[in-house]
Structure 1
Amino acid sequence: MESRKSFGGSFGFVLAAAGSAVGLGNIWRFPYLAAKDGGGLFLLIYLILLLTFGFALLTTEIAIGRKTKQGPLTAYSRICKKWRWLGLLACLIPAIIMPYYSAIGGWVIKYFLAFTTGSYVEAAQDGYFVGFITAQHEPLVYMFLFLMACTAIILLGVNKGIEASSKIIMPALIILIIAIAIYSLAITHTDANGVTRSGMDGLLIYLIPNFEGLTFSHFMSVLVDAMGQLFFSLSVAMGIMVAYGSYVSDKADAVASVNRIEFFDTLVSFLAGMLIIPAVFTFMGSEGLSASGPGLMFISLPKVFESMGTAGIIVGIMFFLMVLFAAVTSAVSIMEAVVSSFMDYFHITRVKAALAEFAIALVFGTIVCLGYNVFYFELPLPTGSTGQVLDVMDYISNSIFMPIISIGTCIMIGWVVGPQVIIDEMEKNGETFSRKYIYIAMIKFIAPVLLFILFLKSSGMISF
């Protein structure tokens, strides 16, 4: 078994953790939810939850990883043997996510190449996206390329792979997202009806809270949306932060690292909204903001870029390059959660663990890609929608398993072993854990209740 490596410093860890947090969930889900849930109202609730609810979950997972120096599969049993099942679930979740995340990463490569090779007009046409994902072979090729790139980074290890790539990709990603956001705010467009809209108009929709017609049920819906987004934004409840925490040196300032991860996550999520909402609103109006998920990323935005003319080619290339960077850093963290678990549990080398996870992700990623043609079906989901293979895997991992592991973690830390275990780990070098009492209240009382509500809502048992 290889000796466990550590991140070279706090900065490398923060960039790697932020890179994990900055993924497709930030770029296509955060702006959609912000637009749907009243702009500034969603932002306000999200920020409050980030500093309380999200902070508690993020702190717990990083501390568990650093204290045990284990991947998620074995870390929880080191804290409390009777709760080892949490480790199994924490390893299973990223194993489920990685195949379909690789498929989506392949879609991003396809669109990046479409814009760089001058096929952006075709990419903006109705039916282009559906035609691509329902093709039998092409999605498989792009999924394979994306998975190969992630595996190569994982094989290089913690320092030369994860940390080194994060130090290059994350600054580039932030520069790209700031540049595109500035451009989005500066554009104006007059539609066929003579209505002129600007990026600044879209920014006001994004930033100003809309309390019109606000009811308790609407507030609860926004609250649940913001909580669900935090799972994606902070990469909690997936074993990722446990794995990354296990590579943090005992000498590092864990409190400061958590604060910086929160800052980077909020910054990129906010900028993603500032990039997408003004651009879509300017060219497509309020109706264009109703698209979510793949529809926003691969249908609405290419139409926006095509409408920009020559400048749209450059903006489209920059956008999909940024999305590709975000997808790679997130996918690497998802893969590492499984690889570190295999290394610790089976006592095997990084190469063997990485190749095993590559094979698993390749097999199930192939099934995901074929889920739009050979294995196509429409399965009713408890949320009221229907889904294919990708949607079912996403529902099981995100709506069922992630809330369960978070609730279990809160109970284990809050009531079985006690919050002091985490507090001691955060303060082991004499740091001041300034939000200690907020942490105790959240992990013991507030977070479990909120998570239970989220579980009931996401599983379709209740609605608002």
Structure 2
Amino acid sequence: MNENRDQWGTKLGFILSAVGSAVGLGNIWRFPYIAYTNGGGAFLIPYFFAIFTAGIPLLILEYGMGHKYKGSTPLALSRANKKWEWLGWWPTITAFIILAYYSMILSWSANYLKFSFNKSWGNDSNSFFYKDFLKLTSSPFEIGGMIWPILIGIALVWSINWIICYKGIKGGIEKANKILLPTLIVIMIIIVIRGTSLEGAQLGLNTLFTPDWSKVLDPKVWIAAYGQVFFSLSLAMGIMITYSSYLPKKTDINNSAFMTAFANCGFEFLCAIGVFGILGYMATAQGIPVSEVVSSGVGLAFIVFPTVFNAMGTWGTILGILFFVCLIFAGITSSVSLTEAVSAPFIDKFAWKRNKVITVICMIGFSMSIVFATGAGLYLLDIIDNFVNNYGIVVVGLLEVVLIGWIIKPDTIRNHTNEMSYFSVGKWWNVTVKYVTPAILVFMLIQSLITEIKTPYGGYELSALFLYGWSSIAIGIMGAIILSKQEWKNQNTNYLDN
């Protein structure tokens, strides 16, 4: 086994990096909307239930796998069971696909940071975003021209990924997260303090947290809670297994999993309070209900919020700058973790030098991202993101728990993490990994497929969904099988005696 493997300098560095990976754009623009539309305050019941029955157990599983088998996802799975190596390559390829379009969203944020200094989105932020900025074409098949400001932003993002990951675990990723994450939290606290002191903020917060108890019995609300926890914690993307493989031999794994989950959860609540305080102000200023200004995803960040900043005068400029810096920092911590999750398997498998792998990955990644800087970029993002999240990541997560729960046996991982940790997790963890999490992930998968069959996603033509959506899943599976058939060149990848 490789004793020369890179290591985190401190446990805090690992926790900050893991939380940095988990804290991403979804915390800022997805969680507040999910909570609002799924029962407000009542949503907290399924949400916390999901954290304890899926989020933390899966984090312990992935931390335990990475730490016990001391390898990136394909190596860890290969050491656990040779036949399952391919399952480690699938999330590696998926992470690469996500990186390609994630860099585009970060490029938008960088451009909007520049716009926020003089509010150059004008009075009609909707028209500005789609027509002037994205130059959106009429369909996913009409690629359109190159949008240079977006391409320059994408190049900048890939350069940052390269600089940080090139310097390694301790000197690059750990150092960057020790600066980025605390700064991100401070900025978000400033936004929350100002957002909640605005006139009408109370209306927004009441709208967000007023419980609708009838929603607690709705299965779709529980699915939304599990989906949010699953995606928000960077599970089944190869990140957490890879990050934990760099931990020293003696590390409190169970406690680390709880800390990561709760830190991410706390940041989500912070974002929700800030977002709904500002939306309440906007609704009050326009004399309309909050429900008419609520939005999620790119609409919230690049259309609704710029409209709010317009109405706020000088404070609008300050909040606009802080908000887009927040998006950039949250995105960079996640994109760096994805870059590492893609690079580490190739370093492990082929014994290539880190510097060479990081450079090649970033160059290929940038080339892949170019198509997202065209007029069809938003369509491609929308379709690929839906399929990768609802099918690719969910299936990988499902197969992970099946492998550990039914083939390797949960006690193999649980006994390892308990041996390392100050407090032990009981047999409830085995039950969760064997029964609870698989059942929920299967239900999520079936729901997604039923919805897909009834109504093709986003009203797109089926040909577009196959070309961009299902093909991204197929590429992940085929690429995983091909890579798993290659011989291990690294001499330090002998299998452990289980």
TM over 0.5: yes
Equivalent residues of 1:399, 1:455 under 8 A apart: yes
For 1:35 and 1:288, locate their aligned partners in 2 and report how far apart those are by CA, in whole Å.
Answer: 13
For 1:364 and 1:398, locate their aligned partners in 2 and report how far apart those are by CA, in whole Å.
Answer: 19
Equivalent residues of 2:18, 2:243 under 8 A apart: yes
Instruction: Output one character per residue of 1:222-269: Cα deviation in whole Å (capped at 9) or x when no partner.
Output: 111111111332110110101101111121211221111112101101
Q: How does 1:71-150 map to 2 (within 5 A)?
A: 71-116=72-117, 118-120=118-120, 122=122, 125-130=125-130, 131-134=132-135, 136-150=147-161
1:288 Cα offset (Å): 4.1
Match of 1:210 in 2: 212
For 1:215 and 1:177, locate their aligned partners in 2 and report how far apart those are by CA, in whole Å.
Answer: 29
Match of 2:483 in 1: none
Instruction: Output one character per residue of 1:66-112: Cα deviation in whole Å (capped at 9) or x when no partner.
Output: 11111112221111112122112121110110000001110110111
Secondary structure, aligned partner of 1:249: coil
* 1:17–1:430 Cα change, 3 Å: closer
Equivalent residues of 2:32, 2:271 under 8 A apart: yes
Equivalent residues of 1:120, 1:313 under 8 A apart: no
Match of 2:338 in 1: 334
Instruction: Output one character per residue of 1:324-345: Cα deviation in whole Å (capped at 9) or x when no partner.
Output: 1100001100111001111111
Alignment identity in percent? 33
* 1:92–1:123 Cα change, 3 Å: farther
**Residues matched between the structures, number:** 437
For 2:401 and 2:174, locate their aligned partners in 1 and report how far apart those are by CA, in whole Å.
Answer: 29
1:124 Cα offset (Å): 6.0
Q: Is 1:447 aligned with 2:446?
A: no
Equivalent residues of 2:23, 2:330 under 8 A apart: yes
1:458 Cα offset (Å): 2.7
1:183 Cα offset (Å): 1.2
1:462 Cα offset (Å): 7.8
For 1:157 and 1:123, locate their aligned partners in 2 and report how far apart those are by CA, in whole Å.
Answer: 45
Q: AA paired with 1:390?
A: L
Q: Is 1:172 aligned with 2:190?
A: no
Match of 1:160 in 2: 171
Equivalent residues of 1:288, 1:300 under 8 A apart: no
Q: 1:457 aligns with which of 429, 439, 447?
A: 447
Match of 1:321 in 2: 325
For 2:15 and 2:290, locate their aligned partners in 1 and report how far apart those are by CA, in whole Å.
Answer: 36
1:393 Cα offset (Å): 1.9
Secondary structure, aligned partner of 2:122: helix
Is 165-174 or 284-293 further displaced after alignment? 284-293
Q: AA paired with 1:151?
A: W
Q: How does 1:13-24 map to 2 (within 5 A)?
A: 13-24=14-25
For 1:452 and 1:274, locate their aligned partners in 2 and report how far apart those are by CA, in whole Å.
Answer: 32
* 1:296–1:61 Cα change, 3 Å: same
Equivalent residues of 1:73, 1:90 under 8 A apart: no
* 1:361–1:432 Cα change, 3 Å: same
1:388 Cα offset (Å): 2.2
1:2 Cα offset (Å): 10
Aligned Cα root-mean-square deviation (Å):
2.0
Match of 1:393 in 2: 384
For 1:236 and 1:123, locate their aligned partners in 2 and report how far apart those are by CA, in whole Å.
Answer: 40
Match of 2:232 in 1: 233
1:120 Cα offset (Å): 4.6
Secondary structure, aligned partner of 1:122: coil
Match of 1:292 in 2: 296
1:463 Cα offset (Å): 8.2
Secondary structure, aligned partner of 1:388: helix
For 2:184 and 2:338, locate their aligned partners in 1 and report how far apart those are by CA, in whole Å.
Answer: 19
Secondary structure, aligned partner of 2:167: helix
For 2:325 and 2:33, locate their aligned partners in 1 and report how far apart those are by CA, in whole Å.
Answer: 20
Q: AA paired with 2:396?
A: I
For 2:50 and 2:187, locate their aligned partners in 1 and report how far apart those are by CA, in whole Å.
Answer: 27
Instruction: Output one character per residue of 1:303-322: Cα deviation in whole Å (capped at 9) or x when no partner.
Output: 11111111111111111111
Equivalent residues of 1:182, 1:275 under 8 A apart: yes
* 1:430–1:304 Cα change, 3 Å: closer
Equivalent residues of 2:216, 2:222 under 8 A apart: no
Match of 2:272 in 1: 273
Equivalent residues of 2:254, 2:421 under 8 A apart: no
Match of 2:417 in 1: 426
Is 42-51 or 4-13 further displaced after alignment? 42-51
For 2:5 and 2:122, locate their aligned partners in 1 and report how far apart those are by CA, in whole Å.
Answer: 48
Equivalent residues of 2:59, 2:257 under 8 A apart: yes
Q: AA paired with 2:128?
A: Y
Equivalent residues of 1:122, 1:128 under 8 A apart: yes
Match of 1:221 in 2: 220
Match of 1:364 in 2: 368
For 2:349 and 2:271, locate their aligned partners in 1 and report how far apart those are by CA, in whole Å.
Answer: 38
Match of 1:304 in 2: 308
For 1:215 and 1:12, locate their aligned partners in 2 and report how far apart those are by CA, in whole Å.
Answer: 38
Q: Please, what TM-score do these two structures have when normalized by structure 2?
A: 0.84
1:171 Cα offset (Å): 0.9
Q: AA paired with 1:207?
A: F
For 2:347 and 2:368, locate their aligned partners in 1 and report how far apart those are by CA, in whole Å.
Answer: 21
For 1:43 and 1:215, locate their aligned partners in 2 and report how far apart those are by CA, in whole Å.
Answer: 9
Match of 1:192 in 2: none
